[in-house]
Copies of this chain bind each other. A is one copy, B any other.
Amino acid sequence: MALPDAAKLSLNTATTRAQWGLAQAIDGCARHGIRGIAPWRDQLAAMGVQEAARAIKANGLAVTGLCRGGFFTAKDWRDDNRRAIEEAHALGAQCLVLVVGGLPQGSKDLAGARQQVADGIAAILPEASKAGVPLAIEPLHPMQAAERACINTLEQALDLCDALGEGVGVAVDVYHVWWDPKLAQQIARAGRERLLAYHICDWLVPTRDLLNDRGMMGDGVIDLPRIRGWMEGAGYAGFHEVEIFSTLDWWRRDADEVLATCLECHRRT
């Protein structure tokens, strides 16, 4: 299989969030020749949406996603998602990534939470479509089902897409789905229209924390070329967005070193 084009790399700013604000991340991408960026909304708010949009445009960066909408099982989901759609529109983001939310506080009703999520996405879909913002459901690893997202497999996310119709697709993050025996089949099922984003990093052995111990591409056990091949085989031609939460390692390093390492490791996977 051909190695990936460095021009496909995008920086999800979670990767440098301990070191850099959004303005620094935009400058960092420009400095390192990274052509895409995916901001998180807390950093976007700190910089200001208009200023961020201006700086991103000035540097010619693609916005491969805005992180994040979702959390439909929390109380303020309606207003929060409305704002997220507006921000994604202002940035010209290729999609709004939905981390859909886990169990409501004190609840054990997983089926009920999943219904709330389906209803919530259906509720925001018209205004997202009107704003030209595709919604990308991100299935999260089952170990995050209780606290962050009760959509946990690509099959489940695609079933939801089928029920919802146009304007919604999926974000495939290798960290969340690499283990899934139905991954190849479901990526093929999704096809180009539903595959809105592709996130990369690696699964470390051992993994020391359920949320913030992701690895750099190549440092773990995920067969990244194989999964990329499935994505490309299904017609995905978009960016490869590196997203590494790493309290113990990458968040402690110099951010320019992190970006240089991302570029180097991306080329091999």
Contact = CB atoms under 8 A, between A and B. Distances in A.
Number of copies of this chain in the oligomer? Answer: 2
B110 A223 contact: yes
A142 B179 contact: yes
A35 interface: no
* Dominant SS among interface residues on chain A: loop
A152 interface: yes
A183 to B, nearest CB: 9
B152 A181 contact: yes
Interface stretch (A7-15, A61-69, A88-96, A201-209): A201-209
A146 B223 contact: no
Contacts of A110: 178-179, 223
A107 B150 CA distance: 30
Nearest to A176: B142
B142 A156 contact: no
A248 interface: no
A221 B108 contact: yes
Nearest to A210: B207
B181 A153 contact: yes
Interface in A198-233: 203, 205-207, 210, 221-223
A147 interface: yes
A265 B142 CA distance: 25
A179 B145 CA distance: 6
Contacts of A205: 146-147
Interface string A127-162: 000000000000001110111001011001000000
